[in-house]
Structure 1
Amino acid sequence: MNGPNHVHTAANAVPPLDDELAGRLEDLDGIHAGIDLIRDGIRLLALDRHTIDRTQTVIAGLAGGADGTNLVATIGYLIARLANSDSNPALRTLPLDQQKDVQQAGEDACRMLTDPYVHQPAAEVCGAIDGI
């Protein structure tokens, strides 16, 4: 085996996607063009060759930015927007009580996805890369 951790792929290539990640990406196919773009971005991030610094930065951008500068928190804000009839006219056809329930659920999702506690594990990955 080659390399400091006895891991080797031919020509030190980035290995293909594992079944779990590939399956999740496949399951999300065709929902919306925006989600397809996100899927393409995730696939690119997973299969691209990264430096140590870039790896740390990507992980922080995905979920580890404790100040909310990460995609998980951004998705939380998007969910809140999509769940609000003021910003999503499609919901205006629902009964008012149901609109309020949807908005509350969206706000709850946003609060949970922007909670710094959710981002702590990814931030710890970044710290571990630094040897912290």
Structure 2
Amino acid sequence: MATADPYGPVHTTGNAVPPLDTDLSGALEDLAGIHPGIDLIRDGIRLLALDRHTVDGTQTLLATLAGSAGADVITAVGHLVARLANSDLNPALRNLPFDAQKTAQRHGEQAAFHLSDPDLADHASEASAAITGT
């Protein structure tokens, strides 16, 4: 004889993970087909958005995505932008005029600097902290 679930039914319509909202869905669609790496990122974002998470896991994801400047996904993207904009690290840019190479590199470095700014991580960090009550 089966015992009753002490937490009640968890597989109910009210407990289902909702589908993607139009903002996130639209943003992911706008990124489709640009590069296989971007498609993998899109798939990862979709998985993160639609997967069922624990409270602790949600707190960790918020910090990992954008709430820990220097050690989060946003910082990694900033470093990738700087790398792709640097002709020493991206051979595709080496045939550009030298001024264009240096301008692209400068803007890539500025993007990395701004994307790793601790102020940018404040809100995600505060959301993460709010979950754990710290």
Partner of 2:8: none
Return the alpha-carbon distance in structure 1 between the equivalents of residues 40 and 113 of structure 2.
25
Gaps of 5+ in 1: 1-8
Distance 1:131 1:59 in 2: 14
How far residue 65 of structure 1 moved from its aligned partner, in angstroms, is: 1.2
Work out whether 1:14 is the aligned partner of 2:17. Answer: yes
Question: TM-score normalized by structure 2?
Answer: 0.89
Deviation at 1:130, TM superposition (A): 1.4
- Structure 1 runs of 4+ aligned residues shifted over 4 Å read none
Partner of 1:90: 92
SS of the equivalent of 2:77 reads helix
Q: How does 1:1-132 map to 2 (within 5 A)?
A: 10=13, 12-66=15-69, 68-132=70-134
RMSD (Å), alpha carbons: 1.0
Distance in 1, matches of 2:42 and 2:26, equals 11
1:12-50 deviations in Å (ceiling 9; x for gaps): 110000011000000000000000000000000000000
Distance 2:120 2:82 in 1: 17
Provide the C-alpha distance between the structure 1 equivalents of 2:27 and 2:85, rounded to a whole number of angstroms: 24
Q: Distance in 2 between matches of 1:89 and 1:65?
A: 31
* Alpha-carbon distance in structure 2 between the residues aligned to 1:53 and 1:131: 12
C-alpha displacement at 1:11, in angstroms? 5.5
Q: For structure 2, list consecutive stretches of 5 or more residues without a partner in the other structure.
A: 1-11
Q: How far, CA to CA, are the matches of 1:27 and 1:76 in structure 2?
A: 20
Quick one: which amino acid aligns to residue 84 of structure 1? N
Q: TM-score, normalised by structure 1?
A: 0.90
